[in-house]
A and B are shown apart, each in its own frame.
Chain A
Amino acid sequence: MKKVLYIAVTALMFTSCESFLDTESYTKKTTANFPVTEKDAIQMVTGVYATLNKSIANCQNTYFYLSELAADDRFGGGGENDKDMQVMDHLLYTNINRFQSFWTDRYSGINRANWAIANLDKVENETMRNQMMGEALILRAFFYNELVEMFGSVPLITTVPQDVADAQIYPAQSPVDDVYAAIASDLKKAIEIMPDNKWNSTISGSGHLTKWTAEALLGRVFLFYTGFYGKESLPLMGEDGAIAGSIAKAEVVTALEDCINNSGHELVSDYRSLWPYTNTVSKQFYPLEGNPQWVKDGENPEQVFAIKCSHLADWSTTIGYSNQYMLHFAIRSHGGADQFKNLFPFGQGWGAGPVSPKLWKEWQAAEPNDLRREASILDGSKTKDYTYGADKQMEETGLWQKKVIATTAPKSTKAVELDGKIETVINELFNSFTSSDKYYGDGKDDDFQLGHEVDLNIIRFADVLLMHSELTQTADGINKVRARAKLPAVTYSETALRNERRWELAFEGTRWADIRRWGIAEQALSNQLGSDIWNRGVATVMKNQGAGYAARYAATKGFMPIPQSEIDLSNGVLKQNAGWDASAVFVSWNE
């Protein structure tokens, strides 16, 4: 009896207790108060952009890194423990979950874009709404494009899961055609709705993506899809999620022409001004003929799509705010005091992606007067006291690319007597020129791992010109690019186009897609064999690892392994890509 009474009393009291148990988050918003305003909606789009930097924090697992190391113009490199770098070159693996961070970062961007797209109706101003919607669509398309190029068919998710119950059913991989249709539809819509402002007067502000980005990205997607899969047009997706309609080549050409003629984008006058080694601080000790000067990020009319990097990278926030590629692709330290003064202005890093000597030689043979070759590649062996095998460098060639690399600057100078003359030389170095107060720094915050604030270019205007040439089979774009490099005009040919892309866009993350879509990957990769390399300072030649370049490409078609843990979490719904079984495990470099 007593118990019954007790339960009854308790039941009455419970209701009054509920309010006592209500709590409110003082640090986060919830679906009850977000997103409500236009500002909120824009914050959601900003959150999508933020995932670009997230992936840079683990740049060694990204599409861009793969595009550089897997392609033929660069090797893996790194120290002997940096097998992640070497396996990318040889299309092998050490850790089947390696791409988990990239997979997660890209899908997190997709999810945020899905949230934003579903909520941008909160922006009242129509022009702004269209601009923001376009940006979210471009980003979603960009994320899917990297995933589909890297992994083939992947789950296509365009809605927002409401709660954890929605996530219980694992979505199957969509056919690649569906993924491309979704990408194409997003880009088409972005092109249709986005305002026509010039690249440097975007209404959402500097650094935002534009209609011109959408047009350029459409060109890139079209070329890969039609090239790699042997198709004529790019599918489109209807409202119901089924393929409906397509984008033909002519439409893409029109889009590229719109970008070329109306965006305000143009080539900078000196090719070397694109790269940070011509910055005003460093160049006083790195004189170049014609005195080119670096065009700062945000002022560079060639940046059609760039991932912004910044001054405030931090281990406690994300190191991805700094351009970690510049660190990874920079030269390993052997600990000697003057190493980076001798290599000035190229700084310290992890030694990933040594440049293939074949590129150096083939370029010289094909285009001996091309200033872009030395503007793009440092011949280390010509520098003072160059030491092979710094910190157990592997697959070293002595050749380093100059575009995406740590760039140092003088911190203090001193006068010394050289050959009877008093000369000013560098006394102390900044690890990064951006640390100097001439740029963003205060001279103190100069971490060699974090001080890389130069944006990562994804699409440069020269690429747009070359894509236009390729699609139209006309030489106009090629010759604009060549003219800037002070090279004579050529007539259009497949070889001319392919060479021009290889020279102009070297080390800018396009080569891997190019050799895959042109169907020349196996031969291009095999071309790396026999090159002179140094492993831990010991001279040898580049050899096949595992099954070898050609066999590995044939087995994988260049697709990477889906993280095994994702397959496990999908309860077997996801299927692993071909060629990624235990036979592809890399143990150590087979001399």
Chain B
Amino acid sequence: MEEKCSTFSLRKLSSRLMQMVIVTAFLLVNCLPAMAQTSTKVKGVITSGADGLPLIGVNVVEKGTTNGTVTDFDGNFELTVSSNSVLDISYIGYLSQQVKVVSGTSLYKIVLKEDSQALDEVVVVGYGVQKKKLVTGATVQVSGDNLQKLSTTNALGALQSQTPGVNITQSSGQPGEGFKVVIRGLGTIGSSGPLYVIDGVAGGDINALNPSDIESIDVLKDAASAAIYGARAANGVVLVTTKQGKAGKLQLTYDGYYGTQYLANMPSLLKAKEYMTMMDETRFNEANPGYDWANVLPTTLYNSIMDGSWQGTNWLKESYNEAAPTQNHAINLAGGTEQSKFSLGFSYTSQEGILGKPVQSQYDRYTARINSDHVLLKVKDFDAIKIGETLNFNYNTKSGIAIGNIYGNSIHNLLVGNPLLPAYDEEGNFYDYDDKVNNGWDFDGNTGNPLAGTALSNWGLNLSKNYALQSSAYLEIQPIKNLVFRSQFGYKMTASSYRSYDGIRHLSNNTNVEMDNVYQSASSGHNITLDNTIAYKFKVADKHQFDVVLGQSVEKWGMGSDINASGNNSIFEGSFDHAWVNNTKPTVLSQRGAGGSPWGEGALASFFGRANYNYKETYMASLTMRADGSSNFAKGKRWGYFPSASAGWVMSNEAFMENTKGWLDFMKIRASWGQNGNAAIDNFQYQTTFAFDESNGYYFDSGKLTQTVGGYADILANPDVTWETSEQLNLGFDSRFLNSRLGLTFDWYTKTTKDWLVTAPISGVWGLNPPSVNGGDIENRGFEVALNWNDKVDEFNYGATVNFAHNENEVTRIANAEGIIHGDANVLSQGTTEMYRAQEGYSIGYFYGYKTAGVFQNWDQVNNTSAKYAGAQPGDLIFVDTNGDGSITENDRTQIGNPHPDFTLGLNLNFSYKGFDLNVTGTGAFGQQIAKSYRSFADSPLQNYTTDIFGRWTGEGTSNKLPRLTSGSHTNWQNISDIYIEDGDYLKIQNLTIGYDFKKLFPSMPLGQARLYFTAQNLITFTGYSGMDPEIGYGYGKSWVSGIDLGYYPSPRTYMVGVNLKF
């Protein structure tokens, strides 16, 4: 079979090339008794078993003759054949059929079943496609259908369960927030996300696409597969292909759903009386009298708490936006002729947040897509000149609540909010400082209404609008068959605007904002790429098949700017809708501010080549070389060279395997090795730069208002900084058993990131910030298993997919004397020390602190323990003397947790019977820990607790985990220890869908499909974790840290109803 090389022609589009994925189909064959006649005219229509759509260009040949025809646009054919003859019906990607000609049959309805062998399916490999059975690297393909059927707003959410070795974690459950994607373990503390290539253009934003826009996603996991994208491929490559035009009848589809969302797990917070008990107990434990509640609380509040008529405020419930709606509507239209094909799509998605009432989060997204391909010149049996384009436009608006660290997290503030404080006063306004003063509140002057804290400030009053255009245009010239020159120009544009309003509010002693503030910002920028490739496919001696690509690529980005402005004193005080800088009327000039800056510009120039070879589709080899030049490095250090090699052997093709044919259908063994690069650092690290920022001026002037500009060298130059290299060895096999009902894919890999680009601390004596250096190594090792089973019993189809991945991560070198990159302090609570770090010999971002060995139960135990803090008493934590020096010091801190899972799991079960279908999808992660703190325990002892605190020590035998209550400064609480660390293992039933296709009930309806379905998302989570959601991508804003729960916006449980209509 001959193939041509083309990135963008996809399955069904180029019939000689593309094939369909496995789908079970119904096979209807008309078989009637034969009758003898000489000649007869037969008419028929041929449709696909997969979707019931007519098939165009199907070969219909009278068996044993050259008499034949092909079907037209509507799948119809007409042919005059001799009686009693047999029709041979064949079509690429479908099983051939033979149909007996029977007199008296006026119309043959023939349904072609797709070729379940599926081994001829093609995957996108970057600058081309390749038959899946010939692939020698570790790649995984997920079809758009499989993404769309999970009804997620974001394609990455649907990928979660379907890609072993790709760890996808939501960075927040807030609508419109993204995901952390890590392929085969973290290799850097810098930019760790994979490279997204959308329709052949590198660097796109997958979040800008509606899952319904996606035809397929291919993830290139091993170095050899990704090597063609050498630069920036160190973290893996995700190739996204949007839906392409299809020749044939116009096909219009509508997919829509509407759902409501709920909080799956409401943490249990202390009620008023419980809170008062805990506060008093803390005082008693330190030999202080309890609080005089009757006097420090307003009388009416106090009385209503004591007589039980008021239980206090549950701030989280007050903020809960129950049954928050979400909806999605997508229309897709595809059609055209073999000469000119197009695909159009429009979609609208809307999701409201479940938290943050009355300023709950809101996300709306509109997308539009136009893809088309046109053959300008066709010569004989190939397309000599072809042009085409892809165009994806996205517009989204987002308003959210604060989801950052403990100083900027609305949910944290709800969790710690004082339950004694009412949410609203008698007039229905937020209960604020004046209410506290008027009612005689004299308890905690710093406690304020957290609902108002968000609803009246820029934490809740904000709106961003984002526009993104991702487009490409190509020209393909094929002067001789199979020699294809292709030139592709890519253009991306993003623009956004943001607006926020910080309102006047007086909520507590320390929250007193007397002047409102309006902030506006806007930015826009462009990115261009130009790729030129020459591909040639040829055979030598009919058995040696070569497929060679040479290419060149240039990219330039960051051509853009930011501007921002702010002002005080809005004339529309309190109104977010009127919060525009022009509406602010500052009384002095300093109340207006403005800024503007360019985007960091950069460029990449690349040359690459790849040669694929196979012998009889049994022995395969592939070589790739790429050279990349990055503007981030000094001349002489710019170019990185990234080679790779891979080989495969289809063992099952061998004669000696003949006796296994009964149970083994296919077995391919693969091996690959390669290097990829990463240049994702700030530019200009190679030279000393001088900065002139506002924080480095000086106010000589006695008027104190005039700053003199200061200039200073801000980094120590590193002229030698160059590419980070990730080297990976991959061994694996693909296999199919039992008539291809069982599939098993296995991969083992070891990935070493060398010359890791890192900003390693340097000694303070140099007085300069350290530059990025090639200063470390990281190793990731692991394996992946994907197992699937598909079968049918009569009309009952069922299938199961389980995938499983294991990864181990270890930092093996950090190039400073200390071997450590320190993490932040004050993460779990203000006043606590560093709690995560990167260090030689450990997993990147591991949790760092004291180990505990329970709680001292009695004085005997205290006295018999030599290593302890002075003053330890029963009820205090037993810190472990890890270095054995006989005392508990800072040096006893050690690893107390690891945020990276040892194993990840994805599973899918599907059943269908007649028109019914049922699908269950689950994901799981095991072996990771979560650092959880829902209160700033060290410095804010009056914050509320969850009912977990009922498990504290109150006397011998009561608890061996949580110490007695003391004020935050006590080492029990102030030391970061494993009492804040929990196992985060979980298994989530991510999606459960039941559908029915009414086409089965009313076959005559003018629709190809009319499916109605019900979906429950995030239905059940099996976990021992005590927080709201164990899937926690938050890592204090760092890409290399995760699993920190400070009040994490949980992903909602969603119930939805949807339809799929095909016209």
Collect the chain B residues with CB atoms within 8 Å of residue A83's CB: 969
Cα(A14)–Cα(B629), bound, Å: 8
Cα(A161)–Cα(B688), bound, Å: 10
Of B509, B597, B697, B705, the contact of A27 (CB 8 Å cutoff): B597
Cα(A464)–Cα(B650), bound, Å: 91
Collect the chain A residues with CB atoms within 8 Å of residue B554's CB: 17, 20
Stretch at the interface among A103-111, A182-190, A401-409: A103-111
Cα(A133)–Cα(B713), bound, Å: 18
Stretch at the interface among B395-403, B630-638, B851-859: B630-638
| A108 with B689, Cβ < 8 A, contacts A6-B550, A308-B700, A442-B587 known | no
Of B635, B688, B771, B816, the contact of A18 (CB 8 Å cutoff): B635
Collect the chain B residues with CB atoms within 8 Å of residue A296's CB: 702
Stretch at the interface among A63-71, A489-497, A560-568: A560-568
Among residues of A, the one whose C-beta sits closest to the C-beta of B558 is A23
| A335 with B712, Cβ < 8 A, contacts A18-B635, A569-B761 known | no
**B828 CB to closest chain A CB, in angstroms?**
14
The reply to whether the CB of A472 lies closer than 8 angstroms to some CB of chain B is: no
Of B609, B689, B768, the contact of A30 (CB 8 Å cutoff): B689
| A444 with B770, Cβ < 8 A, contacts A20-B603, A569-B818 known | no
Cα(A137)–Cα(B418), bound, Å: 54
Among residues of B, the one whose C-beta sits closest to the C-beta of A35 is B711
Collect the chain A residues with CB atoms within 8 Å of residue B14's CB: none
Q: Are B971 and A588 in contact (CB under 8 A)?
A: yes
The reply to whether the CB of A125 lies closer than 8 angstroms to some CB of chain B is: no
Of A52, A107, A115, A569, the contact of B713 (CB 8 Å cutoff): A115
Q: Are B870 and A587 in contact (CB under 8 A)?
A: yes
Of A27, A28, A111, A585, the contact of B890 (CB 8 Å cutoff): A585
The reply to whether the CB of A81 lies closer than 8 angstroms to some CB of chain B is: yes
Q: Are B700 and A205 in contact (CB under 8 A)?
A: yes
Of A23, A30, A445, A571, the contact of B602 (CB 8 Å cutoff): A23
Tell me the chain A residues, 538-584 only, with Cβ under 8 Å from chain B: 538, 563, 565-566, 568-572, 582
Collect the chain A residues with CB atoms within 8 Å of residue B939's CB: 81
| A50 with B770, Cβ < 8 A, contacts A207-B699, A309-B704, A563-B764 known | no
Contact digits for A199-214, partner B, Cβ 8 Å, 1 yes 0 no: 0000001111000000
Q: Are B607 and A22 in contact (CB under 8 A)?
A: no
Of B638, B700, B720, B765, the contact of A157 (CB 8 Å cutoff): B765
Q: Are A588 and B969 in contact (CB under 8 A)?
A: yes
**A222 CB to closest chain B CB, in angstroms?**
26
Q: Are A585 and B889 in contact (CB under 8 A)?
A: yes
Among residues of B, the one whose C-beta sits closest to the C-beta of A102 is B764
Stretch at the interface among B18-26, B334-342, B437-445, B471-479: B437-445
Q: Are A587 and B635 in contact (CB under 8 A)?
A: no
Collect the chain B residues with CB atoms within 8 Å of residue A6's CB: 550, 609
The reply to whether the CB of B1014 lies closer than 8 angstroms to some CB of chain A is: no
Q: Are A103 and B764 in contact (CB under 8 A)?
A: yes
Contact digits for B155-187, partner A, Cβ 8 Å, 1 yes 0 no: 000000000000000000000000000000000
Contact digits for B828-850, partner A, Cβ 8 Å, 1 yes 0 no: 00010100000000000000000
The reply to whether the CB of B701 lies closer than 8 angstroms to some CB of chain A is: yes
The reply to whether the CB of B598 lies closer than 8 angstroms to some CB of chain A is: yes
| Residue with the highest number of chain A CB atoms closer than 10 Å, among B607, B630, B831 | B607
Q: Are B629 and A17 in contact (CB under 8 A)?
A: yes
The reply to whether the CB of A299 lies closer than 8 angstroms to some CB of chain B is: yes
Of B597, B689, B713, B818, the contact of A112 (CB 8 Å cutoff): B713
Among residues of B, the one whose C-beta sits closest to the C-beta of A538 is B288
Stretch at the interface among A41-49, A239-247, A255-263, A514-522: A41-49
The reply to whether the CB of A31 lies closer than 8 angstroms to some CB of chain B is: yes
The reply to whether the CB of B306 lies closer than 8 angstroms to some CB of chain A is: no
| A50 with B710, Cβ < 8 A, contacts A111-B767, A164-B717, A582-B887 known | yes
Contact digits for B802-817, partner A, Cβ 8 Å, 1 yes 0 no: 0000000000000011
Q: Are A50 and B817 in contact (CB under 8 A)?
A: no
Collect the chain A residues with CB atoms within 8 Å of residue B38's CB: none
Q: Are A317 and B773 in contact (CB under 8 A)?
A: no
Tell me the chain A residues, 248-301 only, with Cβ under 8 Å from chain B: 296-299
Cα(A334)–Cα(B869), bound, Å: 31
The reply to whether the CB of B575 lies closer than 8 angstroms to some CB of chain A is: no
**B757 CB to closest chain A CB, in angstroms?**
13
The reply to whether the CB of A25 lies closer than 8 angstroms to some CB of chain B is: yes
Among residues of A, the one whose C-beta sits closest to the C-beta of B938 is A81
The reply to whether the CB of B33 lies closer than 8 angstroms to some CB of chain A is: no
Collect the chain A residues with CB atoms within 8 Å of residue B717's CB: 162-164
Q: Are B716 and A47 in contact (CB under 8 A)?
A: no
Q: Are A20 and B605 in contact (CB under 8 A)?
A: yes
Cα(A167)–Cα(B712), bound, Å: 18
Collect the chain B residues with CB atoms within 8 Å of residue A205's CB: 700-701
The reply to whether the CB of A175 lies closer than 8 angstroms to some CB of chain B is: no
Q: Are B687 and A31 in contact (CB under 8 A)?
A: yes
Cα(A357)–Cα(B718), bound, Å: 55
Of A22, A46, A95, A108, the contact of B768 (CB 8 Å cutoff): A108
Cα(A299)–Cα(B677), bound, Å: 60
Cα(A182)–Cα(B713), bound, Å: 23
Q: Are A112 and B767 in contact (CB under 8 A)?
A: yes
Collect the chain B residues with CB atoms within 8 Å of residue A130's CB: none
**A106 CB to closest chain B CB, in angstroms?**
8
The reply to whether the CB of B64 lies closer than 8 angstroms to some CB of chain A is: no
Collect the chain A residues with CB atoms within 8 Å of residue B768's CB: 108, 111, 161
Cα(A446)–Cα(B773), bound, Å: 43
Contact digits for A304-335, partner B, Cβ 8 Å, 1 yes 0 no: 00001111100001100100000000000111
Q: Are B705 and A440 in contact (CB under 8 A)?
A: yes
Collect the chain B residues with CB atoms within 8 Å of residue A13's CB: 552, 607
The reply to whether the CB of B766 lies closer than 8 angstroms to some CB of chain A is: yes
Among residues of B, the one whose C-beta sits closest to the C-beta of A297 is B702
Tell me the chain A residues, 124-181 only, with Cβ under 8 Å from chain B: 154-155, 157, 160-167, 170-171
Collect the chain B residues with CB atoms within 8 Å of residue A310's CB: 699, 704-705, 707
Collect the chain B residues with CB atoms within 8 Å of residue A366's CB: none
Collect the chain B residues with CB atoms within 8 Å of residue A311's CB: 590, 704-705
Cα(A114)–Cα(B764), bound, Å: 15
| A28 with B690, Cβ < 8 A, contacts A50-B698, A312-B707 known | yes
Contact digits for A81-96, partner B, Cβ 8 Å, 1 yes 0 no: 1010000000000011
The reply to whether the CB of B119 lies closer than 8 angstroms to some CB of chain A is: no
The reply to whether the CB of A453 lies closer than 8 angstroms to some CB of chain B is: yes
| A30 with B688, Cβ < 8 A, contacts A111-B768, A442-B588 known | yes
| A46 with B550, Cβ < 8 A, contacts A25-B683, A565-B822, A587-B870 known | no
Cα(A206)–Cα(B704), bound, Å: 11
Cα(A566)–Cα(B968), bound, Å: 29
Q: Are B711 and A569 in contact (CB under 8 A)?
A: no
Of B444, B683, B833, the contact of A95 (CB 8 Å cutoff): B833
Tell me the chain B residues, 441-455 only, with Cβ under 8 Å from chain A: 442, 444-446
Of A165, A208, A333, the contact of B720 (CB 8 Å cutoff): A165
| A582 with B683, Cβ < 8 A, contacts A111-B767, A207-B699 known | no
Q: Are B967 and A569 in contact (CB under 8 A)?
A: no
**A380 CB to closest chain B CB, in angstroms?**
19
> Could you list some 12 contacts between A and B, CB below 8 A?
A20-B556, A43-B711, A47-B696, A47-B710, A111-B713, A165-B720, A298-B702, A335-B509, A444-B587, A446-B514, A565-B818, A587-B971
* A-B interface, 9 closest residue pairs, ranked by CB to CB distance from nearest: A335-B445, A298-B702, A111-B767, A207-B700, A571-B817, A47-B712, A310-B699, A104-B764, A47-B710
Which A residues are within 8 Å of any B CB, using their own CB?
Answer: 2-3, 6, 10, 13-14, 17-18, 20-23, 25-32, 34-35, 40, 43-44, 46-50, 52-54, 80-81, 83, 95-96, 100, 103-104, 107-112, 114-115, 154-155, 157, 160-167, 170-171, 205-208, 296-299, 308-312, 317-318, 321, 333-337, 392, 434, 440, 442, 444-446, 448, 453, 536, 538, 563, 565-566, 568-572, 582, 585, 587-588, 590
Extra contacts, 7 of them, besides A207-B699, A568-B818, A590-B870 (Cβ < 8 A), are: A21-B630, A35-B711, A44-B710, A81-B938, A165-B720, A166-B716, A442-B587
